[in-house]
Amino acid sequence: MPTLRFLPFSILLGVVGILCVGLTGFWCYHWRGGFGWDGTARMFNWHPVFMVTGMVVLYGAAALVYRLPLSRRGSKLPWKLLHAALALVAFLLAVLGLVAVFSYHKTRTIANMYSLHSWVGLTAVVLFSCQWLMGFSTFLLPWAPTWLRGLYKPIHVFFGCAIFMLAIAASISGINEKLFFSLNNATVLYSSLPPEAWFANTLGLLIVVLGWMVLWALSKPAWKRPELDSPEAQQPLLEEDK
């Protein structure tokens, strides 16, 4: 009975997801000066909010679309569209998150793309865009033959998890890096664990918990959508009538 267990799990996952976004926003609002779109530190603050919302929470939601019990009934197409739409919004937020940090760096003449966090994070976003394009071309557009769809599917599923894990690693290293930058004067040293450090470290662990919950749901055999291998199940979005 996957429906009975999936519902409370989804509610819990939703709460954790909302908490991740809310706590990231609260951190930036309460301790880091709030938000703006003016090239200052207030613009940088959109970076963690957009990245956590897009590359962690919405990405996780997109990955779990086919685990919804409702998705087992009827056509797969609406769920494919929902999966692609959530991933697209996640990608657009990630792009805005990159604009926020690059604009801030430009205003303050800070070098771009030198830290391991930036390398891992940008790799995650670039691979995510490739993943989206490949998924769209293969599973939604009409020209991919069924055998290619079958061949690519396990690769798409694997890289879905792999890039998600990269996004979690980028989040952890990013929060860590930001706290070292921000809590660096004698009155509020990161090493003295002020309230902000407790708060943001806890946020980091909560992001890990969210990542684990998504992986758990993905790995649970009973929650997987049965593959019918019917023509309908393989049907792309724009296939012409034959």
Binding interface with its own copies (CB under 8 A): 110-111, 114-117, 119-120, 123, 154, 158, 161-162, 165-166, 168-170, 172-173, 175-177, 179-180, 190-193, 197, 200-201, 204-205, 208, 211-212, 215-216, 219
Comparison of 89 and 120: residue with beta carbon closer to its own copies: 120
Q: List the beta strands (DSSP E) in the chain.
A: 184-185, 188-189
Closest contact distance (angstroms) between CB of 55 and its own copies is: 14
Comparison of 143 and 158: residue with beta carbon closer to its own copies: 158
How far is residue 52's CA from residue 54's CA, in Å, rounded to a whole number? 6
Closest contact distance (angstroms) between CB of 78 and its own copies is: 27
Compute the CA torsion angle 226, 227, 231, 237 (nearest 10 deg).
Answer: 80
237, 141 Cβ separation under 8 angstroms: yes
* Phi, psi values for residue 150, rounded to 5°: -65, -35
Which one, of 108, 97, 96, 125, lies nearest residue 181 by Cα? 108
Comparison of 88 and 161: residue with beta carbon closer to its own copies: 161
Per-residue 3-state assignment (H helix, E strand, C coil) for 61-104 = HHHCHHHCHHHHCCCCHHHHHHHHHHHHHHHHHHHHHHHHHHHH
Comparison of 133 and 189: residue with beta carbon closer to its own copies: 189
How far is residue 59's CA from residue 64's CA, in Å, rounded to a whole number? 9
Closest contact distance (angstroms) between CB of 202 and its own copies is: 9
Comparison of 134 and 215: residue with beta carbon closer to its own copies: 215
Closest contact distance (angstroms) between CB of 19 and its own copies is: 17
Closest contact distance (angstroms) between CB of 53 and its own copies is: 19
Comparison of 143 and 216: residue with beta carbon closer to its own copies: 216
The long-range contacts involving 155-160, CB below 8 angstroms and separated by at least 24 positions, are 156/131, 159/127, 159/131, 160/63, 160/131
Closest contact distance (angstroms) between CB of 44 and its own copies is: 15
112, 102 Cβ separation under 8 angstroms: yes
Comparison of 36 and 194: residue with beta carbon closer to its own copies: 194
Closest contact distance (angstroms) between CB of 65 and its own copies is: 19
Query: Angle at CA 49, nearest 5°, toward 60 and 42?
Result: 170
Q: Residue 182 half-sphere exposure, CB side, CA atoms within 13 Å? A: 20
